């Protein structure tokens, strides 16, 4: 394009008069053979999400080659392996949140960030509809109920990394009565509930029966999320509650309910046995081969897989960790190409992370369906792979223009390489499964816990986060946990 043809980028909401420095940065100037300046517009790459996949792309993308737009309702990256520890105050919330503005500031000049939800897409016009919800925390009731604002953003290439959310599998009462553990807001809700429950149960007028119900804490789902949360809960009771309210601490019961015959189906059998043994030792009651069928206000209905018998169990707190599903936007995009995107679990992608049937759209992480499990490691490796692929193709204009259809000519397909699995199980113990020399080394116990902690400190997104988490752990060891919330 010649300089006279410049427009202010593709955002329809952008003020045309503000073509100042930031807009000009989106263009690169090339001198032609006739010495006439030719200004070429950079391709707009829209990244949906600020999770493991999208944030890793942001870190690895050559942002001089693209006009990058990051869109997410969450303005921070969340280090999810430590989320269960935030529920009981082992780690402070902010320690595992990395502001996206910091990342944007560090990694690129040509990056815009919109704190908004992408609610619709027109893949033909290459247009996204963004919605910003009203200020939820506003004390002004009028502002809190104002209609959400909407805007539109155009893209040349789109990467969908919207992730997953909890799955209730349509079980009655779950949405209304259970707590979840997927986002930081969920962890804060659990922390508040724990604090309230302890205070309520220690209030003089509570009957013994009611106290026993209140102090029954149920975790549904024996995957890594459920197991890690049960472990953290045990630590809170054992290490802190037992000092603050010893009589009450003795009455707290933790039950973990799993539909399958054992917990942690994706881990090695030895580690499963070790975890189950440790849970027994720590007083965590395991109900395996038991499926939760309904959650009522103060009781849940479970069915024994062997006998088919249904029982009602009173509870005070229930945390639903029974699995995840792709977020709504993945289904919105699927609905645009229903004949090809016919898997209800998420976006079908190929080995080059291309969304099948949707030109110029890539997807990664928990919102996709592929041969890889929905793991943070997978999303992170996919992000790195895609950023490198796009960087290498951006060296050549034609190659970049054909990036979606011809990517296989330029790069090798994405292949996931497992770095192993780790999970904290409580009582300063963890389990680890590490691939080494074509074998899998397994370990469980305090040493594995040290390994898990080192991994967390190493993998945290910034030195600031690592220092904050290390400080939290030291403070916890010296002063105990802090579960106060207002």
- In the complex, the residues that contact ligand NAI under the rule CB under 6 A are 169, 171, 220-226, 257-260, 265-266, 291-292, 321-324, 373-375, 421-423
Taking the complex as a whole, the smallest distance from the CB of residue 171 to ligand NAI amounts, in Å, to: 6
Taking the complex as a whole, the smallest distance from the CB of residue 358 to ligand NAI amounts, in Å, to: 25
Smaller CB separation from ligand NAI, 44 or 91? 91
Smaller CB separation from ligand NAI, 293 or 482? 293
d(CA 96, CA 82): 7
Smaller CB separation from ligand NAI, 149 or 343? 343
Taking the complex as a whole, the smallest distance from the CB of residue 230 to ligand NAI amounts, in Å, to: 11
Taking the complex as a whole, the smallest distance from the CB of residue 448 to ligand NAI amounts, in Å, to: 12
Answer for the pair 221, 320: CB distance below 8 angstroms, yes or no.
Answer: yes
Smaller CB separation from ligand NAI, 183 or 196? 183
Residue nearest to ligand NAI (CB): 223
Taking the complex as a whole, the smallest distance from the CB of residue 255 to ligand NAI amounts, in Å, to: 11
Task: Name the maximum alpha-carbon separation found in the chain.
Answer: 90
Taking the complex as a whole, the smallest distance from the CB of residue 113 to ligand NAI amounts, in Å, to: 26
Smaller CB separation from ligand NAI, 223 or 427? 223
Taking the complex as a whole, the smallest distance from the CB of residue 27 to ligand NAI amounts, in Å, to: 41
Long-range contacts of 438-447 (CB under 8 A, 24+ apart): 440/268, 442/268, 442/270, 442/271, 444/270, 444/271, 444/274, 444/275, 444/278, 445/274
d(CA 362, CA 113): 19
- Residue 66 is inside which H or E element, if any? strand 66-72
- Residue 434 is inside which H or E element, if any? strand 429-436
Taking the complex as a whole, the smallest distance from the CB of residue 430 to ligand NAI amounts, in Å, to: 9
d(CA 111, CA 132): 19
Q: Is the dihedral of CA 400, 405, 411, 413 positive or negative?
A: positive
Smaller CB separation from ligand NAI, 37 or 172? 172
d(CA 22, CA 100): 19
d(CA 338, CA 191): 41
Answer for the pair 481, 88: CB distance below 8 angstroms, yes or no.
Answer: yes
Smaller CB separation from ligand NAI, 252 or 319? 319
Smaller CB separation from ligand NAI, 373 or 467? 373
Taking the complex as a whole, the smallest distance from the CB of residue 138 to ligand NAI amounts, in Å, to: 32
- Residue 478 is inside which H or E element, if any? helix 463-479
Smaller CB separation from ligand NAI, 227 or 390? 227
| DSSP bridge pairs for 479 | none
d(CA 19, CA 236): 55
For residue 354, which of 385, 392, 311 has the smallest C-alpha distance? 385
Strands (E), 104-239: 111-115, 117-122, 127-132, 149-154, 157-160, 164-166, 179-180, 216-220
């Amino acid at each position: 394009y010649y300089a006279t043809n410049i427009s202010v980028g593709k955002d329809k909401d952008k003020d045309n008069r503000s073509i100042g420095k930031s807009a000009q940065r989106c263009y690169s100037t090339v001198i032609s053979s006739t010495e006439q300046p030719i200004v070429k517009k950079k391709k707009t790459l829209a990244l949906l999400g600020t999770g493991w996949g999208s944030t890793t792309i942001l870190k690895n993308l050559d942002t001089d080659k693209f006009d990058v737009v990051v869109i997410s309702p969450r303005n921070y990256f969340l280090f999810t392996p430590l989320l269960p520890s935030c529920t009981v105050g082992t780690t402070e919330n902010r320690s595992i949140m990395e502001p996206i503005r910091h990342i944007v500031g560090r990694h690129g000049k040509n990056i815009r960030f919109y704190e908004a939800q992408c609610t619709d897409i027109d893949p033909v016009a290459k247009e996204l509809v963004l919605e910003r919800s009203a200020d939820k925390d506003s004390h002004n009731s009028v502002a809190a109920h104002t209609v959400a604002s909407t805007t539109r953003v155009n893209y040349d290439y789109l990467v969908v990394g919207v992730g997953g959310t909890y799955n209730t599998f349509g079980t009655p009462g779950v949405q209304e009565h259970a707590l979840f553990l997927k986002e930081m807001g969920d962890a804060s809700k659990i922390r508040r509930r724990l604090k309230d429950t302890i205070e309520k149960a220690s209030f003089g007028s509570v009957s013994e029966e009611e106290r026993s119900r209140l102090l029954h804490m149920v975790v549904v789902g024996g995957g890594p999320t459920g197991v890690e949360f049960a472990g953290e809960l045990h630590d809170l009771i054992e290490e802190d509650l037992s000092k603050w309210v010893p009589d009450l601490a003795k009455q707290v019961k933790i039950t973990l309910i799993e539909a399958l015959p054992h917990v942690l189906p994706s881990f090695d059998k030895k580690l499963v046995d070790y975890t189950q043994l440790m849970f027994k030792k720590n007083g965590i009651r395991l109900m395996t081969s038991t499926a939760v069928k309904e959650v009522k206000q103060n009781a849940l209905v479970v069915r024994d897989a062997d006998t088919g018998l249904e029982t009602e169990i009173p509870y005070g707190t229930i945390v639903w960790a029974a699995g995840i599903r792709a977020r709504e936007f993945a289904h919105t995009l699927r609905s645009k190409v229903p004949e090809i995107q016919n898997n209800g679990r998420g976006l079908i992608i190929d080995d080059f992370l291309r969304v099948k049937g949707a030109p110029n759209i890539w997807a990664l992480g928990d919102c996709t369906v592929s041969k890889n499990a929905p793991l943070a490691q997978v999303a992170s490796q996919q992000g790195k792979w895609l950023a490198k692929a796009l960087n290498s193709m951006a060296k050549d204009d034609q190659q970049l223009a054909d990036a979606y259809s011809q990517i296989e000519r330029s790069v090798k397909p994405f292949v996931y390489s497992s770095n192993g699995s780790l999970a904290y199980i409580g009582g300063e113990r963890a389990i680890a499964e590490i691939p080494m020399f074509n074998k899998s080394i397994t370990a469980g116990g305090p040493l594995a816990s040290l390994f898990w902690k080192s991994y967390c400190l190493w993998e945290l997104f910034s030195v600031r986060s690592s220092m904050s988490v290390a400080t939290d752990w030291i403070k916890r060891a010296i002063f105990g946990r802090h579960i106060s919330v207002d």
